[in-house]
Amino acid sequence: KLYGLAAEYAGLTGTEKLFDLYCGVGTIGLSMAREAGQVWGLEIVPEAIENAKRNAKANGITNARFLAANARTGMRPLIEEAGQPDVVTIDPPRAGLSAKIVRRLIECEARRIVYISCNPTTLAPNAAQLVEAGYRLTRVRPVDMFPQTPHIECVAQFDLVGEVRYVESPSAAKRRERDERRQAAKEAGQ
């Protein structure tokens, strides 16, 4: 049910380039590969990438490639190699995404992001950052994968509305303000 819902939210028609971030052994991307033009999976664990490649081969899937890399540092090289994605699926750890990784995700400029979260508490700040950058939270649905426990998965669909608005990180804003003060002091001292 979870992956079926993610596929529904992805809305693939057969031509899209799909990035599957935190892909693990490729389950999400491979489950959508027959409806996508290309699937590119990114995962930090090399053994998981090898398993993803084996899973693709075992299932006769030829339009999927998998790369072993950290999400923060691997997205830019992935875009350089594959080009910009149309759709991104992301299934991060319980801690969610750091603000830097969300900025990298925004830089992809995908028209749609499907975020699968095992922790709605960490999804919330990530969602706020995506919305601030120009994405609309189109729909979100909880999925009770663990009955009788407090744990819940949820699938959220974000659609890009217009152009991406790049939002300055707090550390970049502090550096810019510091540099502006230094420049003003320098000019005042001349």
**Known catalytic residues?**
118
Cα angle value 165/91/30 (rounded, 5°): 110
Rounded to whole angstroms, how far apart are CA atoms 9 and 137?
11
Return the structure tokens found at 97: 């995404």
- Half-sphere exposure for 70 (CA within 13 Å, toward CB): 6
Residue position matching structure tokens 């939210």: 9
Distance CA 48, CA 115 (A): 20
Contact between residue 33 and residue 39 where contact means Cβ atoms under 8 Å apart: yes
DSSP label at 144?
A: -
> Tokens at residue 18, please?
């799909």
Query: Is the alpha carbon torsion for 21, 24, 29, 33 positive or negative?
Result: positive
Do residues 89 and 158 touch, judged by C-beta distance below 8 A? no
